[in-house]
Every structure is written in C-alpha cells, then in structure tokens.
Amino acid sequence: MPKLTTHPSQRVTKMLAVGNSGTGKTGALAALAEAGYTLGILDYDSGLDILRNATSPAAQDRIFYETLTERRKMVAGQLVLDGMPSVLPNTLKLLNDWPELGPVSTWGPDRVLVLDSLTFFAKAVFEWVEASFHYRDRRQSYGEAQRRVENLLGLLYSPVIPCNIYVASHLTFIELVPGTLKAYPAVIGRALSPTVTRYFNTCVEFHIRGIGPTAKRVISTGPTGTVDVKTATLPSAVPGELPVETGLATLFQALQGETK
C-alpha cells in the first residue's frame, strides 16, 4: 500500500487559473519558464505575444507551443468555418505525440502542459461536434461537446499525465439561484461550468487590483467572493495574494515543497 509521502501531488501541480481577459493568465507563465520548467503550450487564443516580451532568451528556449485555431472564410457576408474543424483532433494528436517533446504521458515533473484557454478549446469542441454529428436538436450538440471536454479534463487530472498541468479559463456568471449570480469557468453551456473545478486540486483567480496607474495584476489563492478558489496545501503555506510576475513559481514551490 503506497505511503502518502509518495503521492503524485508531491511532485506535480495541476492547476486551474481563472480570470477575465487581460488579467495576466498567460503572462504569468513566464515565471515558470524562468524557474527552469519546460512549457508545452496548447494555444487556442493566439495570445502568446506577452511571453515573448516577458521572458529571457534562455527561458524562451524552454517554451514550446502549438497554435490551434480553425480556418474561416467569408460567405455571403458571414464568417464561417473553412472545411472540417481540426482543433479537437489536432489537440489529441499533440497529446499523443508532441513533435519536439514526445507523448505527454512520458513528460515528467520538470514540464508543464498548458491549455490556454479552456474557453476557446470548448468552443472548438462544440464546432467539431456540430460538423461531425449534425444533430437535429442542438441540445444534443451541447451535451456531446460537454462530455468530450469533461473527458479531456478527466485525462489531464489522471495519473496517466504525470507532468504539471496549467489550464487557463475565462469567467462566466451563472444564475443558479434566482437573483444570485456566481462566477464559474467559461466553457460550453451551463451544465459543465460548475463541475470544472472538481478536476483540479488547485484553482486560483487572476484579477486586477486597483485602477489607473497604480493598478496591478495579482493571483488570488484565497477566497475573493467571485470564484471558489482552493490550493492543495495549507492556507498558511502560501500568501493569499501573489504578484503575476513571480506568483506561479512561488505557488509551485509551495505546493511541491521545493523548487524543480
């Protein structure tokens, strides 16, 4: 029977990062690259410019990425998909064998698999489902897309993927109780959003503290009143708020008990 000292959480961190656009979810990854981690980024937002500007040449050499977006064209004044959607199958192909890094199932604790963002990935899954199944009832498309997104979350959560995981997501507000709105990760439809955090032992919120010239981007590890954040360590082991510039490296160290 395994001892708790050998639990995988001692070696790797699987984290959900939520926040509105522009709060620093992508730029914060610079701290991990600077700390020596190798990053494999599944880029669905085409928003990696900040990493180029926020990292040293040595850190940039540890960042690998694949930008995954659909081709589109104009038809009768409308922007539509150009051909069969490819984001979902290409994502699975990369997980099975990333050209420079090999199968994700062989990655170790010195690597971080990044999914940026879950929101855009879920949208791509929905488009693939609609193009593949042609359900007459669109509710079936939503259900099938949610199932496939949740299956991927389950895979990332499982020991089959033995590396660190960082999943970024935008926020959506859902009225579960009349008159009361609550923030959840933005995916497809309402049913899946409240369940996403179940697949992560650590969930942090990115937001902007203050306004104007003194405003700063921060990572909250404690309750904010917006999102149900949590960390896989005692609250006393990590500050309740961390600067975006260095916060992820600090948090990974606190969660794993030592630097990489």
Pairing, β 216-220 against β 241-243: antiparallel
The pLDDT of 161-167, averaged and rounded, is 97
Instruction: Give yes or no for residue 259 having a pLDDT over 80.
Output: no
Give percent of the chain above pLDDT 90.
Answer: 70
- Residue 258: what pLDDT? 54
The per-residue pLDDT for range 223-244, each reduced to its tens digit, is 877 788 898 777 677 888 999 9
DSSP-derived 3-state class of residue 224: coil
pLDDT tier at 160 (50, 70, 90 boundaries)? very high
What does the alpha-carbon distance between residue 121 and residue 44 come to, in Å, rounded to a whole number?
A: 6
SS3 214: helix
Ranking 38-42, 66-70, 204-208, 209-213 by mean pLDDT, the lowest is 209-213
Least confident of 7-11, 104-108, 214-218: 7-11
Separation in Å, CA 170 to CA 14, 38, 176: 17, 24, 19
27-70 pLDDT, tens digit each: 999 999 999 999 999 999 988 999 999 999 999 999 999 999 98
Output the six-digit token pair for 128. Answer: 């693939």
Q: Is the pLDDT of residue 6 over 70?
A: no
